[in-house]
Structure 1
Amino acid sequence: MPDIHIERQHTLGIEAAREAAHQWIAQAREEYGMECNYVEGDACDTAQFSRAGMDGTLEVTADRFLLEANLGFLFSSFSDQIESKISKNLDELLGTAASEPKYDDDGAYGKW
């Protein structure tokens, strides 16, 4: 079972969803030093990402993003903050609002 599981529905269609995924990958590379591999499929694209202490996948379809990540021991205690940051980035790229609780930088639940 992954440490982080984020699923977002969207109405972008596959081409715009691919563009959003490529933007997310660029952010992950720049901000976190992630190594990313993106493979386009007929109905589902898959991005695999990794760095020391974290690895996972992002599945992209015409109407859904599914991100799952596993965290190493050092990052596991920060899973809520990491998930919140990833959720925020995906929501901004997709133009969606999260349907799950959001946490501020201190890990406290907030309505923002």
Structure 2
Amino acid sequence: MPSIDIRRPHRLSAVEAHAVIDRVAARMREKFQVLTQWQNDTTLSFERAGISGKIAVGPDEVHVSAELGMLFSPLKGMIEQEIRRKLDEHFA
């Protein structure tokens, strides 16, 4: 299975970074019917048919990792581009 692994530095406080990821998760749920759940205060897991992953919020970095199933494999480049764009938008 293809995987995605993106890290982006940030300068937000833990509370601010968590709030940003909450907003992103709400959009993912609305737009893509993704199930999301905080595993602890720093890691949000997400899943739907064909994709699963995590968004880990560190003190100075956000780390997105995902595994793509066969359905989403051909879209890997587009998915990575959109993740990078959103991270730049919210954490630049």
**Is the pair's TM-score, using the shorter chain for normalization, greater than 0.5?**
yes
Alignment of 1:85-96 (within 5 A): 85-94=82-91, 96=92
What is the aligned partner in structure 1 of residue 64 from structure 2? Answer: 67
What is the aligned partner in structure 1 of residue 17 from structure 2? Answer: 17
Return the alpha-carbon distance in structure 2 between the equivalents of residues 47 and 6 of structure 1: 15
What is the aligned partner in structure 2 of residue 83 from structure 1? Answer: 80
Q: Supply the RMSD in Å over aligned alpha carbons.
A: 1.5
Return the alpha-carbon distance in structure 1 between the equivalents of residues 17 and 2 of structure 2: 23
Q: Secondary structure at the match of 1:78?
A: helix
Greater per-residue helix proportion: 2
What is the aligned partner in structure 2 of residue 58 from structure 1? Answer: 55
Does 1 or 2 have the higher relative contact order (CA < 8 Å, sep 6+)?
A: 2
Give aligned pairs, total: 92
User: For the structure 1 residues 11 and 2, does the alpha-carbon distance in structure 2 shift closer, same or farther, using more than 3 Å as the test?
Assistant: farther
Consecutive unaligned residues in structure 2, runs of 5 or more: none
| More divergent stretch after superposition (8-17 vs 85-94) | 85-94
Q: Is the 8 A contact 1:24 1:93 kept in 2?
A: no
Consecutive unaligned residues in structure 1, runs of 5 or more: 97-112
Runs of 4+ in 1 over 6 A off after TM superposition: none
Residue identity matched to 1:18:
H
Alignment of 1:28-43 (within 5 A): 28-41=28-41
Following TM superposition, by how much is the alpha carbon of 1:13 offset from its aligned partner in structure 2, in angstroms? Answer: 1.6
TM-score with structure 2 setting the length: 0.92
Residue identity matched to 2:54:
T
Return the alpha-carbon distance in structure 1 between the equivalents of residues 68 and 52 of structure 2: 7
Q: Is the 8 A contact 2:2 2:69 kept in 1?
A: no
Which structure: larger Rg? 1
